[in-house]
């Protein structure tokens, strides 16, 4: 895969053809994968984490850390790669993290992460690909 984002699907049908059922449920329907289900939780390689929907570079591997929460976690995102939206679902108020390019739901960000940012981007592994 190149570092360039893929051509953006224009319809729901095109998204369904591009993504697996799980990727579609998470990225397009704002779903959440089960805790500790992603192989990326224990990923320790060097590389860049990209959006599984459009290929946009989102996180560098050197910002990944073990949060113990059950999802891949990062303390920072690439500049301009993500957007934030208030999420009031499930009786909570959280900050949702979206891919700035395709609008895909990635996960949430919390203010309980490590230095230097103090943030914890709690991201669904199914919403990510890794370029090594």
Question: Is 102 an annotated catalytic residue?
Answer: no
Which residue is catalytic, options 51, 99, 102, 122?
122
Alpha-carbon span 89 to 86, nearest angstrom: 9
**At 15, which helix (H) or strand (E)?**
helix 12-18
Long-range contacts of 78-87 (CB under 8 A, 24+ apart): 81/56, 81/57, 82/58, 82/106, 82/121, 84/109
Q: Which residues are catalytic?
A: 122
């Amino acid at each position: 895969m190149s570092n360039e984002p893929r051509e953006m699907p224009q319809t729901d049908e095109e998204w369904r053809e591009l993504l697996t059922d799980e990727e579609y449920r998470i990225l397009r329907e704002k779903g959440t994968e089960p805790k500790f289900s992603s192989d990326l939780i224990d990923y320790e390689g060097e590389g860049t984490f990209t959006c599984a929907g459009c290929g946009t570079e989102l996180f560098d591997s050197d910002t990944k850390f073990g949060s113990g929460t059950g999802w891949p976690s990062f303390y920072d995102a690439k500049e301009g790669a993500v957007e934030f939206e208030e999420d009031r679902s499930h009786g909570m108020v959280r900050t949702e993290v979206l891919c700035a390019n395709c609008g895909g739901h990635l996960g949430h960000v919390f203010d309980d992460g490590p230095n230097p940012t103090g943030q914890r981007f709690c991201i669904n592994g199914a919403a990510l690909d890794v370029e090594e």
